[in-house]
Structure 1
Amino acid sequence: MKRPGSKNNVNNNSATADDANSSVVVEQKPKIELRKEIGVMQGVGIIIGIIVGSGIFVSPKGILQESKSVGLSFIMWAVTGVFSALGAICYAELGTTIPRSGGEYIYVLQVLGPLPAFLVLWITFVAIGAVSTAANSLLFAKYCLTPLFVGCEVPEYLTRMTAFLSVAMLCAINCINVKLATKTAVVISVCKVSALVIITVIGFYYFGQGKTENFENSFEGSDYGLGTISAFYQGFWAFAGWNYLNFLTEEMKRPSRSLPLAIIISLSLITVIYVTANLAYLAVLTPDQLIASHAVAVTFAEKTMGAGAFVMPLFVAIAIFGSMNGEVLSMSRAAFTGAYEGHFPTALAMVSAKRLTPMPSVLFMGICTLVFQQLFTNQLDYLIELTGFAFMAIILLAIGCLLVLRVKHPELPRSLKLPLPIPILLFIITSFICIITLVKSPKESLISICVMLTGLPFYFVGVVWKRKPASLQGKFDKLTEFVQKFLLVLPQEKPLD
């Protein structure tokens, strides 16, 4: 029998102590990876938060103006809602077939290769994401400050400062905690829906008072030619954003279930909300008044809410803020995935060691947004218009990837598998929209293609050029090291595959 103080006992005790200590370390030190914080409810909040932005509050006049009649405009709202829902379900199949974050970028990368994938990432992140967020931040500032400057112009420096602070606040939220960002999305979505419910209730009250004259002869003067196509195009953009949840697939709990459910619930709810809100608007405003209004919800409130009308610009501001939050949340993941694949700087694929958020990619998104915000204040709407053709081309590529996967890789597990005619029909319709856009706006479409191709020099320098001079590579490495030390970030521990 050994003594309590014998060597073997000491070693055993040390081993036990070491095991205990290592156990404590494992428990206290979380894995460096993005957490799965997004469930069905958060997914619904994110989609509603992105889609229900300024459009339904500010300018739902587009469809009415193009279709030339109240009756046809409602048909187009319903048709574009169904089309968007089917497109989103196709994306749900893509997201469950390739369960990776990054949206269209990762699907094109897997199916078509690195060059087209990089160009998709370039236009999605730089042009669509950063430019749209910059434009929304300035619009947010306008609606926040307008109630404070009744009867006079809001000073430009104050608009810029408010826009800057809104972007900074959203970047801070998204850097601190993913759950905080998703909770913000849910809270804001509730506020948006509540505002639209208020509008709907007031509108239906007017219906009850017999205000139905705007719906008499509702199809009179309808434009069934080019106007129908233009109205569809306007409606499609009103639903833009349904693809953004696919940028967050890896952070979803049980994505094979949560992604399709969140998409179906949110798109169904949004379609109903859009149709009923437009019914309410037209119960109070004539078609001419609706088309002439710069902010329909504000005009509606001024006619119906009396002294309480001042809250409507604030609701519009909240709606825009929610869209910005969704864009920062989603687009930062595009940069994160692109960096992991070697298409963006390495530092953007790192995770905060303390917060477990993609802090560098969030801050990079914020910086790009602020650059556009400050340099192109008066051209942002035009820049967004220029990306229209590229955006439709990206959707077309994604649906094409779905069809290629069906043909070449039928063996891949799919928790959601749509009847094949659905993606084929969507591919045909999207191709038709791209052709119409090219014919209707050839100059803007060609410029849009040129904007996409501006990514080529960055691709060849950053991706293709492997043997860079040691001095240049050393500077890149020092920059990555600085970002790591300054932000306390590390590469993600688990592979994304």
Structure 2
Amino acid sequence: MAEATVYEPVRSSAESSRSSLSEHTLASFDDFSNEVDDGEYLTARSFDDEAGSAPADGFDDGGKGKLGITSAVFLILNKMIGTGIFSTPSGVLLNCGSAGASVLMWLAGGVLSMTGMSVFLEFGLAIPKSGGEKNYLERVYRRPRLLITCVFFSQMILLGFSASNCLAFGRYVLFAAGADEPSETIARAVAVSCISVVVLVQSLRPNLGTRLFNVLGMFKVVVLAFIVCTGMAAVLGLVPHDGDVNSWSDVFADSGFASDGFAASGTSVGYATALMRVVYSYRGWENANYVVSELRDPRRTLAVAAPLAIVGVTVLYVLANVAYLAVIPRQEIARSGVIVAGLFFRRVFGASAGARVLPFLVALSNLGNVLVVSYAHARVNHEFASEGLLPRQWANWKLVASDVNVPVMGLGLHWLITVIVLTAPPSGEAYEFIIDLNTYPAAWMNMLVASGLVYLQHRKAEHWRSPFRSLLPVTVTYIASNVFLMVTPLVMNGGTSGNAAVTAAAGMSCLGMGVVYWAIWSRLLPWIGSYDIVAARTDTGGVRYVKVKRGQEGSIEA
């Protein structure tokens, strides 16, 4: 069995309560007490080379249902490729002011994603267990004890929903069915049906769910490859299309958007806005880090799948934009309020194809995103239940007898939060406001993860080791990109943006609720109940938080 992860007790006063724990846990505490004295905490040395086959969260199914490299690639692809590449290019071109600058912006987005991948790859290979940022933040920010765990817990529970892609799925299904102005109520009903069916499939037929996101991931790649090939064929004159296009006659020439009333075009504010939209279109590259325990040979799978997926998406995004510009005049792309891929299909195949095919393609893209997000977030919820932040019984519940372990309650919690967000808020700006809440907290968390890696790499007392090392300039670039995402919305156009400030404040308040939860769960209730919360190691090498009565024999689970 892989060597277990080493953690320190949550409170030093637990020393007197060690006798209440099991013999196995007693040994664990004695072991890690010596290692803490030596300054050694969780590092790559805590896992032997076979750690990949022994999940640290007790979710071991003997390798059945594990994800290989192909599935891991599509797990990432499905989250990265959403509606962004079908709609964002118009806003990026408008803000950049020239075709060449907009394409370079999409390339820059891929490079920034690679910097983030470098940080997460070093952490993921050193700590090969599910949970993503949770494990990485816990490794660095150990004091106040459990604070960062509760803050991340709050973010994932309150903001880890799939409402935006479910609603987009509902809207595009109705568009594909012929509804020019689909009812918001009906769209939400379709969205609720979408997340419900996805959760049922993941619970009852987990292997079918895996096959579905593999198929949909391949479908997305085929669609983008088709757009790329069609655009190249149009440039060569092999495919007839509507209109004389000269977008590439002078690629870096100012397209004149500023003189047409869009003052930010080609300015520093315009470039900042464009980069922000591009970065958001690349979100999801870290998805495999959330489910490392579900990967077959996780170190090898993660090391191969993550770079392959990000490089592949970057190439597809850049070439897709080249294809758009090869077929559609840049003025039409920038000024149109419709989805740019719709214009592309309309010019190549006629109005009927553009109107009917595109909504169907985008709806399937959204469905793939819902599948992989629910898969990943359910595993993170399972981690919380295994450790005791959620009811521990949830970690062992199964809906059906199966050789494949399924985090049913984790899926159920993800379903519940998503349905609440889909049904509770009123329509309009209030709804869009809630959907966008996670953007700001996510940037903070990513910045903390990257800054923590710099600390671990340069503080010898931490004894940090990993099979992969992220270079300092790469890590600093990723930190800067997240600071950019945090600051830019607040200072846009030279002043504070009211909407952005309110969204940022609301998002950060969700993290603040994690601080409140920490104060109550780990400080107030233990004080009232006269017990300590102690971190103990499990037989599978994971960690669990248990309540230990002060001065009494026996322990109760947290």
Following the alignment from structure 1 to structure 2, what is the Cα–Cα distance between the partners of residues 386 and 297?
27
**CA offsets 1:243-301 (integer angstroms, 9 cap, x no match):** 12111011111111111211110001000100111111122222232231322222322
CA offset at residue 331 of structure 1? 1.2
Matches within 5 A, 1:39-438: 39-113=68-142, 114-127=146-159, 129-130=160-161, 133-150=162-179, 152-209=180-237, 212-221=245-254, 223-291=266-334, 292-306=336-350, 307-309=352-354, 310-352=356-398, 354-355=401-402, 356-376=405-425, 378=427, 379-408=430-459, 411-438=463-490
| In structure 1, distance between residues paired with 2:337 and 2:450 | 37
C-alpha displacement of 1:415:
1.8
Instruction: Judge conservation of contact 1:92–1:259 (CA < 8 Å) in 2.
Output: yes
Give the 3 Å change call, closer, same or farther, for CA 153–233 of structure 1 in structure 2: closer
Which residue pairs with 1:450 in the alignment? 509
* C-alpha distance in structure 2 between counterparts of 1:195 and 1:40, whole Å: 21
Q: State the TM-score, normalizing by the size of structure 2.
A: 0.74
Which residue identity lines up with residue 401 of structure 2 in the other structure? K
Q: Shift in Å at residue 434 of structure 1?
A: 2.6
Q: Is the 8 A contact 2:374 2:414 kept in 1?
A: yes
Shift of 1:400: 1.7
Letter in 2 for 1:231: A
* Aligned residues with identical type, % of pairs: 23
Q: Which deviates more, 134-143 or 420-429?
A: 420-429
SS of corresponding position for 1:446: helix
Quote the Cα distance in structure 2 between the aligned partners of 1:240 and 1:323.
11
* SS of residue paired to 2:220: helix
Select between 230-239 and 212-221 the one with higher mean Cα deviation: 212-221
Write out per-residue CA displacement over residues 34-72 of structure 1, whole angstroms, 9 at most, x where no aligned residue.
445111111100000001011112332232122122111
SS in 2 for 1:449: helix
The two structures, once aligned, show a CA RMSD in angstroms of: 2.6
| Deviation for aligned residue 1:172 | 1.3
Cα distance, 1:302 vs structure 2: 2.3
> Could you tell me how far apart the structure 2 residues matched to 1:349 and 1:241 are?
25
Going from structure 1 to structure 2, the CA distance change for 1:349 and 1:465 (only over 3 Å counts) comes to farther
User: TM-score with structure 1 length normalisation?
Assistant: 0.82
SS at match of 1:290: helix
Of residues 367-376 and 297-306 in structure 1, the stretch that sits farther from structure 2 once superposed is: 297-306
CA distance in 1, matches of 2:343, 2:137: 44
| Paired residue type of 2:374 | V
Contact 1:175 1:362 in 2 (8 A): yes
1:386–1:447 contact (8 Å) kept in structure 2: yes
Shift of 1:339: 2.4
Deviation for aligned residue 1:394:
0.8
- Partner residue in 1 for 2:22: none
- How many angstroms apart in 1 are the aligned matches of 2:489 and 2:184? 34
**Rounded Cα–Cα distance in structure 1 between residues aligned with 2:185 and 2:441:** 32
The separation in 2 between residues aligned to 1:157 and 1:234, in whole angstroms, is 28
Give the CA deviation at 1:142: 1.0
Which segments of 5 or more consecutive residues in structure 1 lack a partner in the other structure?
1-30, 471-491
Between the aligned partners of 1:32 and 1:432, the Cα distance in structure 2 is: 39
Quote how far apart the aligned CAs of 1:162 are: 1.4
Q: Distance in 2 between matches of 1:163 and 1:218?
A: 41
1:297-352 Cα deviation digits (max 9, x unpaired) = 22322222234442221111010111111111111122111222332333443352
* Corresponding letter in the other structure for 1:300: F
AA at the equivalent of 1:196: L
Residues in 2 aligned to 1:295 and 1:493: alpha-carbon distance in whole angstroms: 52
How far apart are residue 160 of structure 1 and its match? Answer: 2.3
1:32 is displaced (CA, Å) by 7.0
Contact 1:336 1:350 in 2 (8 A): no
In 2, are the aligned partners of 1:103 and 1:246 still within 8 Å (CA)?
Answer: yes
